Amino acid sequence: MDYHGKKFKAISNSSNGEITEETIFEYVQSGRILTCEYSGGNIVKGHLLGYVDDAGKIDMRYHQIDSEGVIKTGICHSNPEIMENGKIRLHEDWRWTSGDHSTGQSTLEEI
């Protein structure tokens, strides 16, 4: 699966997460390596670095800074679903590696 040049936004997130529908993710992929910059809502700037497997699943790490200047880090595993319109929906399980180390789920859709 090729994520290069695709943009995503959150359609759902756990209450302990920080991304919202205002957060836009811009993916860049080279081979199996995926990078992304994201911002919007309470997130001033975020980056992720990931590896895409044969099924399009993404194993990634992320870091971000919020509007209060707090830097947070985490780990995320994304599973893709191709929707009827041909766009990608990502089902994500994540865990903060800073702060309270809590876990959550989010769903992103290609825009």
Enumerate domains of the chain plus CATH numbers.
7-110 (2.40.128.30)
Q: What is the mean pLDDT of residues 5-28?
A: 96
CA 86 to chain centre: 19
Burial (CB count <10 Å: 0-12, 13-18, 19+), residue 15: exposed
78 closest CA partner among 88, 93, 64: 93
pLDDT digits (tens, 9 = 90+) for 33-88: 999 999 999 999 999 999 999 999 999 999 999 999 999 999 999 999 999 999 99
Q: Do the Cβ atoms of 103 and 93 come closer than 8 Å?
A: yes
d(CA 76, CA 10): 14
d(CA 26, CA 48): 10
